Structure 1
Amino acid sequence: MSHQNRQWQVFLFLILNFRLFNCGQIRYSIPEEMNTGSPVGNFADDLGLELTRLRVGRARIVTEENIQYIDLKTDKGILVVNERIDREGLCGEISPCSFSLEIILENPLELHHVTIEILDVNDHTPTFQKKEIKLEISESAAIGSRFLLGSAEDPDVGVNALQNYILYPTENFILKQHSRPDGVKYAEMVLQKPLDREEHPHLSLTLTAVDGGNPQRSGTVIIDVTVLDANDNAPVFNQTAYKATVMENAPKGTHITTVNATDADSGSNGLILYSFANLKGNIAEMFYLDVNTGAISVAGEIDFEKTKKCEISIEAKDQGGLGDSSKVIVEVIDVNDNSPVINIMSFSSSIPEDSPIGTTIAILNAKDLDSGENGRVSCAISQNSDFIMKSSLLNYYTLVTDARLDRESLSEYQITITATDSGSPRLSSAKTLSLKVSDVNDNAPVFDKSFYSTSVMENNSPGLSIFTVSATDSDWNQNARVSYMMEETNIRGAPVSAYISINSETGVLYAVRSFDYEDIKSIRIQVKAQDGGSPPLHSNATVNIVIQDQNDNAPQVLYPVQTGGSLVAEMVPRSADVGYLVTKVVAVDVDSGQNAWLSYKLLKTTERGLFDVGLQNGEIRTVRQVSDKDPVKQKLTVVVEDNGHPSRSATVSVNVVVADSFPEVLSEFTDFTHDVDYNDNLTFYLVLALAVVSFLFISSLIIMISVKIYRWRKSRLYYQANLPVIPYYPPQYADAGGTGTLQHMYNYEVCMTTDSRRSDCKFVRPSSQSVLMVDRSVMDESGSPEKVRKFYVLSNLTVHVGVLLTSVNEGCCWLRSGAPERNAAAPPILRLCSNQSEAKERLEKTQNVAAFES
């Protein structure tokens, strides 16, 4: 029931639609390829429609095609071509060809169906799929053999389609046409005459396809017929033997020669293949043969030194197995491709530096595998003039020395030997020999200086490093090991080793003792540097060590002499003028340089303003006139100070008597005596005793008694001894170094005694000044001399008149020399013994000649 209801519904829908639509149908036929805008038909007239109806009804074309080929012109009511129409593209091989479209109008709705039939036009030429048809036909093909040629294509239909085939020429073939079930026509050739390849190996035919259109169209194809040969001929070489040359070491692929064989056949029967036959050795590895062309080329390494000529057998065969043979003779040409080879037959890697000229170092051999000029070798040494190459046999050489060798200049040689052949271009090879020159002890150690000078400060500590000497030896190893030693010499009677020592390894000089500049001012030693060779070599150098002075010595006062047993006084007359020379303080300093520069200062005086001392010369002079109020006894304290840092000083007391007569002087002697410190050591002990008070009281008494006994025993020893005259300071004393405070020559007169109980030096002073000296031993208790005797003495080549003061008990005398005119600046006093002969002997020992008067 449901299915029947649906059919009724469709039927009713169609009835209703038929009432709504007013339908019309029309058909037009037009040729293809019409131009755009070409009219197809008058649609309005053919359907009886007004143009107004077309406009009001909004007439339009509705089509299902993607391309709208037809367009409607509503203002004219006609259909025109809107797009080029190609029947073959639209319908292909379908005939007839047509397409439909609908025209719709509105108000009321109208639908008109239009069918457009496209008529074929002969616009296509018959074409073959290939431009050329190639056929291979054996010359032995049988008559009547068929060869399909295929068909041409023509898209047109009807009479415009393909109609016929034409073949030209037809000497060997005829053409037959056939139709397939689908109506397509094709052609085939039939052989009607035998083919001969040797006469006509190729045939060219033309196949033409024509249609039935007007004008008629046609298409052609070339038929290329290759006549295949039958194998009825064998290959033949054009030469029985080929000759060729090739350079050795030619690169791979180098062409040598080409063999050629011909075959009268063609095709597969005439195709020749080449191959090696009966190869020997490694010929197959050296050469390559192209099987198709017969070209022979280099395939591997060709070495003239291994193979100088090659004979190669070649075979040529066609596809049928027929063939021929030949041979190729290849001659290898030598190329200078081998460098000379140096072989060391004998070599000494070390040679002593004292080897004579011509010593053989090495024997070697040089070879070249090439031949002729390429194998001729010469050897040479490059950039070394100390060696030469000698050759006595072919290709054998001897390397010998050509100069004296010196290890210290060059300890090792790199000898490069170059072997060069005579080829073009020349090839060479080199070998380097390393030759060491062994050391010989031919160089002595060398000091950097032959003379060294250094200094050391006196009072040094023993073991002080003073200086370092250094010597180098240009030899090697043990021959260059330097040891140091000092030459055995004496310094001031002692061996040099008592003063200086040296480290044998380092060359450092050490002080063995503490040096004293005043004792020794310089030390000169010889240092020897000796190597460890055999025999050892050595060299010497001088080292001068200067002892530098330190201010370690205080000035020493030579005059006036300070004694405890006698009193020395200088006499100044009351009539002395200003600047009167009273005396001169003479002091020396055994130091040197500025340490010995002395200056004098007046520290203390009894009467101020009466005396002054010279700062540099130590001369004590009066500053003003002596007055009656000035005391007769004057005591001056003079300080002598050096210029060292720190400075050192010494003091001296000078006693001066202001008097005009000798008895007046004697009256003052007693007072002076009380002022003199009898024993300096006793004072020291007393001061020490006061410090410790009660503990040392008894000890002080014992010391005092001991001193008395000591002095008594000492005086007894001097009284009993018969000693020669010993001066306090040597006559004509001169500073040895020339740097002290004394002049180089200074004369003194000396007064000594050998039998007096008090062997003291009474004075040491220059001979140009007056001194008054009094000894208590020559006076009685009242202080007056017991006896005066007058005599003359010749001292320092000058005759003087003297006064002799003697003492019967003591047995000594004093001589005050003076001129008869009583010159104020009288020469000094001489102390003599009471025995005149002994006194004369003592004076002669002092190189003075004396004449005595009783």
Structure 2
Amino acid sequence: VALFGVRYSIPEEMATGSVVGNIIQDLGLDIKRLKSGRARIFTEDDSEYIGLNSEKGTLVVAKRIDREELCKQVSPCSLHFQIILENPMELHRIDVEILDINDNAPYFSKKEYNFQVIESASPGARYSLESASDPDVAMNTIQTYKLNPSDNFKLNVVSLPDGTKYIEMVLHTSLDREKQEEHKLTLTAFDGGNPQKSGSVKINVIVLDANDNAPVFSQSVYRVTVPENAQKGAVILRVSASDNDKGTNEEITFSFSQHTSSASSLFIIDPHSGEISVTGVLDYEKAKHYEINIEATDKGGLTDTSKVLIEVTDLNDNAPIISIISLSNAIPEDSPLNTVIAMINIKDLDSGKNSHVRCYISQDLPFKIKSSAPNFYSLISDDILDRETVPEYNITITAVDEGSPPFSTNKSINLRISDVNDHAPTFPQQFLTAFVNENNSPGMSLLTVKASDMDYGSNARISYFLEDSQLNGMSASAYFSVNVERGEIVAVRSFDYEQTKEFHIRVKAQDGGSPPLSSNVTVKIMIQDQNDNPPQVLYPVQTGGSLMAEMVPRSADVGYLVTKVVAVDVDSGQNAWLSYKLQKATDRALFEVGLQNGEIRTIRQVTDKDAVKQRLTVIVEDNGQPSRSATVIVNVAVADSFPEVLSEFTELTHDKEYNDNLTFYLVLALAVVSFLFITCLVVIISVRIYRWRRERLFYKSSGNLPVIPYYPPLYADVSGTGTLKQGFSYEVYGTTDSRMSDVKNSRPFSQSTMSIDQSATRTVQRHKTESENIPTEVRGSAADVPSGTYWLFRFVARMRKGNTPVMGK
């Protein structure tokens, strides 16, 4: 805030609208600055005599200026005000001196004055006259007086040490009442203006009989000091005068001179005692001193004059006055330090030490008061502002003077802090989890995320978006959607727990600021399993091509492990908890099924009376609600040898419940055997045509047998109490000479498990055979060779002639 000043002088009584001065030229400003700064005039007493023309940049007379009304007798008479500009703030002091013009003529308070003069008055006797009044000053006020006629009296102008003047009428020649009892005079006062003006008053002098001595005051000037809080009736001074006459001629009365009317309302003099007391309210701020002319008059009409100078002392009876000139409300929270918030004017009508003012605010606030010019202060920021911490401040400005006791004044300002987008939305948690059952309906609400923003208004308006990411090779929007306003996460499609058990998505919360701020939250969506899949039996495998049977020797003890039903459930949790129950059995008293492990064991000793064929139906149930189940049929052979089993299970193939399937498989087996037979014949003929050097290559490239179908694994009783998987290797050597063919097993077959070929009537032999011609060498697992293929090899060996070997696996 800068402070510059300029001074102008104008005569009083100028017409309204007259130009006082051009502030654009004198202050170095321009019209644009006046308009952008919203220039205006500030006066401390709110009397706007001078106006500002912002369009032309000139000061003009706003209303009639009467110097006499404005300043009385004070000279020079000046108007003081400030021109205030904002953005940035500037303060320019303007002083306009009001020059006096001779617009007032001298005048007397009365039209006529009467004097009584004793005839014995000696020449040189003085008679105090009322001075004329002229509100003008300097040369325009009263300069000379003239008394007419001047045969007996002359005028005497007396100048006092304080610069004031009063006039006396001095007796020039002695009076003779017998010659002339009354004298009529005219007193005229002239000012020094151009043109000159004057005023006059009549003086009647009545000649009295002799009274030789006039009263005399003890002092020519009385001085007294009075505090401005003096009570009414308080005596401030007592004057005295003496008269050398005797009798009634020495009786003196005191009075105020006729030209002390301004002080007569505040003071009074006792005519007999000469005591001067206070009758009105004194105010130092209105008048600092008073001048009273007093007279002492005897009975003979003789008088003496004196002057009383009353000085009013100041008391601290005025509190400081705080005026807010300019206020910026509200201010942004990111305002820099030392930002000007308000311009303040503080004044105290007292004087001296009582008018010295100290201004301050609370130290807890992020602001401070800085003096920019006398009586002017700036409220500026002194710390970082944060609307989210404190959205507004109540600033109390305190002004204290230095009087005793001191007076203080408070002024409160409510300052609002405007918001800036300096906070991003925040989620209560960085990670959220939602649960949804599989097979849900599309459009199902999963979870609502909620973020908060400490900002205000549009800066705190939050929108929610689903961040684009890949889930199982697809965009996240293919699975989920997010409501922009509410943050509700909705499933776009139905989910399958067995395919995907959980998803991880990110939701972004973005505010409406400029630029916008955002934050993310990770949402883990867990798919909860439902019991929508039945158990699946892995073992024993149920096929229509061959029947599997578990062999139990008749010597088996109680608790003998016959086999184990193996099942799985692709569901999870309790939906995948499986239990095994024996639903039907040929002999329920012989076998039991483990509820949890599916193991089939004997519950009593096997006897000779037990049937060889035992058929068990086991049901596998999960623990879901509602539960799902699967059934499996387990064939058990109670026998000690294979021939005994063979005869029983051969009949089994002709049972009514398998007749339909058996017919289909027999036809299929016959077709396969015929095809393989023809293929072998073609191969044998082709081999004989080619040279022997290509024989080994032919074996590797064209001699492969058809793909062997999958059959369930074989189990062998290793420990005597259970069935475990038993694999073995075999070797088959074949030549054209049947006497040289051989089949060798590297490990013997277990007697616990057997395989029955439903397309033939023989059981696969489980021992070394030397009497049969087999045309190939085969190495592998016995579980990988179907019984039908084995007999096919035997058939081909008998049909072949010649010595060309065939190799395969």
For residue 478 of structure 2, what is the aligned residue in structure 1? Answer: 498
Q: What are structure 2's unaligned runs of at least 5 residues? A: 1-210, 676-704, 718-722, 728-740, 770-780, 794-805
Change (3 A) 1:539 1:789: farther
Matched, 1:660 2:640: yes
How many percent identity over aligned positions? 54
For residue 169 of structure 1, what is the aligned residue in structure 2? Answer: none
For residue 79 of structure 1, what is the aligned residue in structure 2? Answer: none
Aligned match for 1:615, one of 574, 585, 595: 595
- The alignment partner of 1:643 has SS state of coil
Shift of 1:586: 0.9
1:494-519 deviations in whole A, cap 9, x for unaligned? 22223322222122222223333222
Q: Is the 8 A contact 2:744 2:768 kept in 1?
A: no
Aligned match for 2:421, one of 441, 451, 460: 441
Q: Is the 8 A contact 1:570 1:771 kept in 2?
A: no
Change (3 A) 1:789 1:426: farther
For residue 402 of structure 2, what is the aligned residue in structure 1? Answer: 422
Aligned match for 1:763, one of 696, 701, 712: 712
Change (3 A) 1:600 1:378: same
- One-letter code aligned to 2:316: N
Q: Which residues of 2 match residues 831-850 of structure 1 at below 5 A?
A: 831=785
Q: Is the 8 A contact 2:226 2:310 kept in 1?
A: yes
Q: Is the 8 A contact 1:416 1:433 kept in 2?
A: yes
Q: Is the 8 A contact 2:223 2:308 kept in 1?
A: yes
For residue 461 of structure 2, what is the aligned residue in structure 1? Answer: 481
Question: Normalising by the residue count of structure 1, what TM-score does the alignment of the two structures yield?
Answer: 0.52
Change (3 A) 1:436 1:677: farther
For residue 829 of structure 1, what is the aligned residue in structure 2? Answer: 783
CA distance in 1: counterparts of 2:445 and 2:389, whole angstroms: 36
Change (3 A) 1:659 1:274: same
Q: Is the 8 A contact 1:806 1:834 kept in 2?
A: no
Matched, 1:457 2:411: no
Q: Is the 8 A contact 2:388 2:455 kept in 1?
A: yes
Q: What are structure 1's unaligned runs of at least 5 residues? A: 1-230, 683-707, 721-752, 774-787, 821-826, 840-850
Q: Which residues of 2 match residues 113-124 of structure 1 at below 5 A?
A: none
- The alignment partner of 1:562 has SS state of coil
CA distance in 1: counterparts of 2:359 and 2:384, whole angstroms: 23
- The alignment partner of 2:617 has SS state of strand
CA distance in 1: counterparts of 2:267 and 2:767, whole angstroms: 145
What is the alpha-carbon root mean square deviation over aligned residues? Answer: 4.8
Q: Which residues of 2 match residues 782-793 of structure 1 at below 5 A?
A: 790=743
For residue 259 of structure 2, what is the aligned residue in structure 1? Answer: 278
Aligned match for 2:286, one of 280, 298, 306: 306
Q: Which residues of 2 match residues 624-773 of structure 1 at below 5 A?
A: 624-673=604-653, 762-763=711-712, 769=723
Q: Is the 8 A contact 2:460 2:513 kept in 1?
A: yes
- One-letter code aligned to 1:830: D
Q: Which residues of 2 match residues 58-207 of structure 1 at below 5 A?
A: none
CA distance in 2: counterparts of 1:254 and 1:828, whole angstroms: 144
- The alignment partner of 1:510 has SS state of strand
Aligned match for 2:534, one of 522, 547, 554: 554
For residue 541 of structure 1, what is the aligned residue in structure 2? Answer: 521
Aligned match for 2:267, one of 287, 292, 298: 287
- The alignment partner of 1:527 has SS state of strand
Change (3 A) 1:347 1:675: farther
- One-letter code aligned to 1:279: T
CA distance in 2: counterparts of 1:551 and 1:252, whole angstroms: 108
1:458-501 deviations in whole A, cap 9, x for unaligned? 33333232222221111121111111222222222222223322
Q: Which is higher, the Rg of structure 1 or of structure 2?
A: 1
CA distance in 2: counterparts of 1:621 and 1:248, whole angstroms: 126
- One-letter code aligned to 1:380: Y
CA distance in 2: counterparts of 1:319 and 1:677, whole angstroms: 171
Q: Is the 8 A contact 2:547 2:755 kept in 1?
A: no
CA distance in 1: counterparts of 2:619 and 2:758, whole angstroms: 40
- One-letter code aligned to 2:783: I
Q: Is the 8 A contact 2:547 2:756 kept in 1?
A: no
Shift of 1:344: 3.9
CA distance in 2: counterparts of 1:366 and 1:314, whole angstroms: 42
Q: Is the 8 A contact 1:557 1:650 kept in 2?
A: yes
For residue 358 of structure 1, what is the aligned residue in structure 2? Answer: 338
CA distance in 1: counterparts of 2:619 and 2:512, whole angstroms: 62
CA distance in 1: counterparts of 2:515 and 2:624, whole angstroms: 54
Shift of 1:610: 0.7
- One-letter code aligned to 2:226: V
For residue 569 of structure 1, what is the aligned residue in structure 2? Answer: 549
CA distance in 1: counterparts of 2:593 and 2:353, whole angstroms: 114
Aligned match for 1:604, one of 584, 592, 603: 584
CA distance in 2: counterparts of 1:308 and 1:610, whole angstroms: 135
- One-letter code aligned to 2:330: S
For residue 256 of structure 1, what is the aligned residue in structure 2? Answer: 236
Q: Is the 8 A contact 2:715 2:726 kept in 1?
A: no
For residue 333 of structure 1, what is the aligned residue in structure 2? Answer: 313
- The alignment partner of 1:277 has SS state of coil
Q: Is the 8 A contact 2:713 2:783 kept in 1?
A: no
- One-letter code aligned to 2:479: Y
Q: Is the 8 A contact 1:551 1:644 kept in 2?
A: yes
Q: Is the 8 A contact 1:311 1:327 kept in 2?
A: yes
- The alignment partner of 1:472 has SS state of coil
- The alignment partner of 1:373 has SS state of helix
Q: Is the 8 A contact 1:791 1:852 kept in 2?
A: no
Q: Is the 8 A contact 1:568 1:762 kept in 2?
A: no
Deviates more, 1:563-572 or 1:596-605: 563-572
Shift of 1:530: 1.3
CA distance in 2: counterparts of 1:486 and 1:818, whole angstroms: 71
CA distance in 1: counterparts of 2:249 and 2:523, whole angstroms: 115
Shift of 1:441: 1.6
CA distance in 2: counterparts of 1:647 and 1:510, whole angstroms: 30
- The alignment partner of 2:335 has SS state of coil
CA distance in 2: counterparts of 1:524 and 1:241, whole angstroms: 106
Count of matched residue pairs: 520
Shift of 1:320: 9.3
Change (3 A) 1:853 1:767: farther
Change (3 A) 1:433 1:320: same
Shift of 1:605: 1.0
